[in-house]
Amino acid sequence: MNWWRRLRRLIAKSWMLSWCYYRLHGIRLVGPPGEEVWYFAYGANMHDSGFRERRGMRPLEWRPGRVRGCRLRFNLEGRPKGKAAPANLCIDPQAEVWGVLYRITRRDLVHLDSTEGVPGRRYRQLVDDRRRYRGSSVEDR
């Protein structure tokens, strides 16, 4: 395990260190660490073993869901280069993306960021109390 991975894990374990780290990258951690949020998973994190075992997540609840008005894209550079295919969502009024809604805490969200290797950049709170994702509607099924 390299020093950067160890440092990421240390930062993810401390809410204060995470707050400072995210702030340095221009991202605000909003809300207390124990507050529950819905995380919309698509791609590899939809798979139970990937989310629970590889990422070490323990969701409080999960259910199928979809985001209307977005399209799934594989246009990010993965690590290791040429071996990974990270996905993201982009606005497309005619499309929809199916995935899994996981209810987790904000502290869990910071831990999830650290397992992705790019804290704060790829995973942020996607679904707020009004079930909106950047102007697109999110539905549970």
Is there a domain that residue 44 lies in? yes
pTM over 0.85: no
pLDDT of residue 115: 78
Helices (H) and strands (E) in the chain, counts: 4, 5
> Could you give the number of structural domains in the chain?
1
Supply the range of the domain harboring residue 50. Answer: 3-130
The per-residue pLDDT for range 79-105, each reduced to its tens digit, is 667 666 777 888 899 999 999 999 999
Is there a domain that residue 121 lies in? yes
Is there a domain that residue 136 lies in? no
Burial of 102 (0-12, 13-18, 19+ CB in 10 A): buried
User: Which range has the worst mean pLDDT, 11-15, 45-49, 66-70, 117-121?
Assistant: 117-121
Residue among 20, 107, 14, 108 at smallest CA distance from 56: 108
CATH of the domain at 112: 3.10.490
